[in-house]
Amino acid sequence: MSIFENLASLHDIGFFCAKRILSDPNVQALINSKQEFDLVIVETFLNEAHLAFAKHFNAHLVLFNSMGVSEWNSHLIGNPFLSSYLPTTNSGYTTSMSFYERFRNTISLWYDRYYRYFYQTAWHQSLVDQYFPKKYDLNKIMYNASIMLTCSHVSTTEATAVVPSIIEIAGLHIKTYKLPENIQRFLDSATDGAIYISMGSNIKTTGIPKELLNAMLKVFNNLKQKVIWKLDNDDLVTSQNLMISKWLPQRDILAHPNVILFISHCGMGSTTETIHYGIPVLGIPMYGDQMMNLNRLKKYGMALELPFKTISETTLKTTVEEMVNNKSYLENARKRSKIMQDRLVHPLDEAIYWIEYVIRHNGAQHLKSPAHDLYWFQLFMVDIILVMILTPYLSYLILRSFIRS
């Protein structure tokens, strides 16, 4: 799938999800109720129609983004997004890009803006018109947020400039609880270390081909490390060092001192948690931002990649042994963990503070970026660049006409 098809597909999915939510009877009951709110928090993921909730309830708008600052949300808060060093979500790149990668990254960014301007906004405006009792102009609502809470931090994403209205709160959800007794005993007995495997909640492992599943089972059953695997089909025959379950408390497992490797799809939530606990990652990215997240972990020296199509008994065994035996991955993961946890305020407390701040200061309009007051051609200096190019050119033409005459 090309970058153009990929972006169009994601925008289509965003529109479909936004429509499904707005058409839900419970959501419609909320919209048509007489409830009052001081503030509305809306998650931003290609679902601009949901921003109308703030206007509908005459409340302050706070954006929440679980993926970090990206091309999909920067424009909503007036934050600069430069494709010269900031990778787009689907590119899979990090800040270290070659000329070709910067070129491809820029094409991806501008195609996203083109698609958003000419298609997506109109689609979401139609949802606002259909599911809200009053007519709201989405183009005005979109840029009226007070702040954006984003699940990013210098330890999990690139160091980049952000406007004051962006509050970085990566890890706000992380809290460790006591493990169930059977898992606690299993991990405590892992004297050679333990490996945790999970492909997240959106990827169904029942679709793994039988031949590949058997190869993976053979590897995990014969490792000297204990292996705990979140797998939908938990009725498989396993050895004593392999535990399989349909559900596992991921954060609490990663917090166990015997866990030395996390085999993951590298979703943003899992990436944040593994950095927090300082666990190396063997990444098997599937779609979306997962490749970009994995490449960041590789850049930090705490991860390796094993593409799904290349998984075999040999490649899996070799890669796992490399990560387990080479202590540099664990050391680099621990260093990254220290960076993430060295913070003045816990991210949850910071989020609460800024939400209350918006209410205390009646929307905190003083945080609003002046970028919202500019047309696109002013924001990107198109008018200035044209004048700089045309002025000497026109001067040359005028001078040449005088000389000839």
CATH number, domain at 309? Answer: 3.40.50.2000
389 belongs to a structural domain: no
**289 three-state secondary structure:** coil
What is residue 298's three-state secondary structure? helix
319 in the same domain as 186:
yes
The residue type of 255 is: A
Unique residue bearing structure tokens 């094993």:
306
What tokens does 59 get? 């409340």
Q: Please list the residues that pair with 325 across neighbouring strands.
A: none
Report if residue 367 sits inside a domain: yes
Run of H or E including 317: helix 313-325
Which residue bears the tokens 């190396």?
Answer: 280
Q: 29 and 141: one domain? A: yes
Identify whether residues 210 and 285 lie together within a single domain: yes
Which domain CATH number covers 103? 3.40.50
Q: Which residues contact 174 (CB under 8 A, 6 or more apart)?
A: 251, 272, 273, 276
Instruction: Say which DSSP state 305 is in.
Output: E
Which residues pair with residue 194 across a beta bridge?
226, 259
- Structural domain that includes position 21: 3-172+346-373
- β-bridge pairing 194-198 and 166-168: unpaired
Predicted pLDDT at 404: 84
Residue 1 is predicted with a pLDDT of 64
H/E stretch holding 230 reads: strand 226-230
How much is the pLDDT for 237? 67
- pTM higher than the cut 0.85: yes
| 298 shares a domain with 253 | yes
d(CA 11, CA 6): 9
> Are residue 217 and residue 298 in the same domain, yes or no?
yes
DSSP class of residue 116? I
Instruction: Give yes or no: residues 364 and 314 share one domain.
Output: no
Residue 362 belongs to some domain of the structure:
yes
199 and 143 within one domain: no
Residue 394 included in any domain: no
**C-alpha span between 163 and 253 (Å, rounded):** 36
- Per-10-residue mean pLDDT of the chain, 405 residues long, equals 80 94 98 95 94 97 92 92 90 90 94 90 96 93 95 91 95 93 97 94 74 90 94 78 93 98 95 98 90 95 95 95 97 98 96 98 95 89 95 92 84
Q: What is the DSSP letter of 155?
A: T
Between strands 242-245 and 259-264, the pairing is unpaired
**Residue 258 in domain:** yes
Same domain, 256 and 351: no
Place of tokens 């290609």: 46
Residue 382 lies inside a defined structural domain of this protein: no
pLDDT confidence of residue 161: 87
**In this structure, which amino acid lies at residue 8?**
A
Residues 188 and 204 both lie in one domain: yes
Half-sphere CA count of 60, side-chain side, radius 13 A: 19
Q: Which of 341, 363, 389 is the last residue of a domain?
A: 341
User: Could you tell me which of 170, 212, 199 has the C-alpha nearest to residue 287?
Assistant: 199
How many domains, the chain? 2
Q: At what angle do helices 328-341 and 268-277 cross, to 10 degrees?
A: 100
Q: Report the C-alpha gap between 316 and 337 in whole angstroms.
A: 26
Tell me the residue length of the chain. Answer: 405
